[in-house]
Amino acid sequence: MGRTAKKLAKKLTEAQQQALEKLKSFLRSDHSFFRLSGYAGTGKSFLICHLIEWLDAHDFEFVIAAPTNKAAKSLMQVGSSVGINIDVKTVAQLLGQQPEINEETGEEEFTSPGDAEFDDYDVMIIDEFSMINRSNFEEIVNAIATTINTKVIFVGDEAQLPPVKEQQPIVAISEAIDATATLDEIIRYEGEIAVVAEKIRSDESYARRMYSFQTSEDQTIVCQPRKEWLETVTEYFQAKDCKPNPDYARLLVWRNKTAGDANRFVRSRLWGKDAPIFVPGDRLIARKPLFRVRPGQKGKNRWGVLINNSEECSVIEQPTIQQLSFDKVAYQYRSVPVKTDAGFEVNLSVLTEEGERLRNEMIKDYVAKKQWNKYFDLSRTFDDITYAYSLTVHKAQGSSIDYVFLDIEDMQGCPDLQKMLYTALTRAKIRVYVPVLTSNF
């Protein structure tokens, strides 16, 4: 954990101060788990910065974690904005998780070695609890049971989307959590965006019907005919501020297919309709963890994660076509030079269409024969990436985006419509652009 850079100048509200006192009392109690809940704009992150300052001043050993790298980055930015240097881990890193192949299903699953060293910390703060799935929550609870007196503070907004295939965030309903505080006073109104987000969150009817968006007086919400909206999308993605800041503009959707269509549209405007599949400057995102062989390691330890799921990178040079043989089959792939957001350069190995077809055939064959080592190695030899201009709201969860382009047409059939809209709106820092419902891309 980085030391605080300066004492926080801005004071807490009365409600935030009461919540902070509850947190301090919890840390002196015999309880193990605390849930700090609050909707968008109630100042959860600001309160946590005050708590971090207090923990630092009183020599607590603590760690801060978030479910994804995007959420971790967002929390670090909040800390930086108020003068606190925060190091944030992902929950997977905290649990020491490594992906393994389930030999019954052939699916890749993240498992923990069972020796997470939580005893090293007095306090663990885990942000964005709505994104924590049931399995990870149970691992945290079980690990805490083996510590002497480690405390866990979950922070989040239960109105956001739950994890995929789960109805509710487990942290919001678990009886294992024995101390709580709720912030319900909205103190950070970032224009009309927050007002509309609160209307949607508090009205259950928006679980079944689309909110009727209108351009707001303060221009934080702008509605446009779809053709004009697409031109505005183009303008923002072509802006000079977009290249150095990947969260300058994002097009948010519900379905992966729509994200693919939207990414193709943005690329056609950036590079032309006949542009190569990868162009220097392209923004890419990992759809799964990307692996590399670790020298000198064997078995399960042979592969190490190079880039985590949902981490991003930028293409820095034109790719070249290469060929690699695996199990007597030759695969063609593109070697794509990229620079990651972490700052290192690496060549990604992305299969051509023919290479992808061959791999899928061999993967099916390995599964049928239960040749898991070959399946495992072939699955990790090549990299699964896509473009990052448009994201599903699930992928964007935890991030902060300057300008959000919200494709409400794609979201109309979403079974989690209310939470989808609320989560998407609360990603925006400056403005949301919404298309008037007409036609698709």
Whether 146 and 90 share a structural domain: yes
Please say whether the beta carbons of 438 and 408 come within 8 A: no
Q: Give the HSE-up count for residue 367: Cα atoms under 13 Å, Cβ half-sphere.
A: 14
Shared-domain flag, residues 397 and 352? no
Q: Name every residue whose Cβ is closer than 8 Å to that of residue 249 and which is 6 or more positions away in sequence.
A: 233, 236, 237, 239, 242, 401, 402, 403, 404, 405
Radius of gyration of the chain (CA): 23
Q: Helix or strand or coil: residue 317?
A: coil
Residues 91, 175 within the same domain: yes
- Structural domain boundaries, residue 267: 192-279+389-436
Q: What value, to the nearest 5°, has the Cα angle with vertex 6 and ends 5 and 8?
A: 125
Same domain assignment for residues 48 and 113: yes
Q: Flag whether 146 is in a domain.
A: yes
Same-domain pairing of 179 and 70: yes
62 domain-assigned: yes
| Tens-place pLDDT, residues 1-52 | 444 445 665 789 999 999 999 999 999 999 999 999 999 889 998 899 899 9
Is residue 343 in a domain?
yes
Based on the fold, state whether residues 249 and 132 are members of the same structural domain: no
Pairing of strands 249-253, 401-406: parallel
pLDDT in 10s for each residue of the chain, 441 residues: 444 445 665 789 999 999 999 999 999 999 999 999 999 889 998 899 899 999 988 999 999 999 988 888 887 877 776 677 777 888 988 888 766 655 555 555 666 665 566 888 999 999 999 999 999 999 999 999 999 899 999 999 999 999 988 999 999 999 999 999 999 888 765 689 999 999 999 999 999 999 999 999 999 999 999 999 999 999 999 999 999 999 999 999 999 999 999 999 999 999 999 999 999 999 999 998 899 988 887 766 788 888 888 899 999 999 999 999 999 999 999 999 999 988 899 999 999 999 999 999 999 999 999 998 899 899 999 999 999 999 999 999 989 999 999 999 999 999 999 999 999 999 999 999 999 986 444
- 130 shares its domain with 25: yes
User: Same domain, yes or no, for 264 and 298?
Assistant: no
Whether 369 is covered by a domain: the verdict is: no
Rounded distance, CA 254 to CA 92, Å? 25
Asked, for residue 226, whether it belongs to a domain, the answer is yes
Nearest CA to 380 among 323, 313, 300? 300
CATH number, domain of 150, equals: 3.40.50.300
157 and 51 inside one domain = yes
Same domain for 147 and 77: yes
Please check whether residues 338 and 267 belong to one and the same domain: no
Place of tokens 């007086």: 217
| CA atoms within a 13 Å half-sphere pointing along the CA-CB vector of 151 | 20
N-term to C-term CA, the chain? 45
Instruction: Select from 154, 183, 212 the last residue of a domain.
Output: 183
Q: Name the pairing type of β-strands 303-307 and 290-293.
A: antiparallel
Tens digit of each residue's pLDDT (9 = 90 or more) over 150-183: 999 999 999 999 998 899 999 999 999 999 999 9
Asked if residue 376 is part of any domain, the answer here is no
Q: Does residue 262 form part of some domain?
A: yes
Q: How many domains does the chain have?
A: 3
Q: Is residue 372 part of a domain?
A: no
Model pTM above 0.85? yes
Same domain, 119 and 57: yes
Work out the number of other CB atoms within 10 angstroms of the CB of residue 297: 11
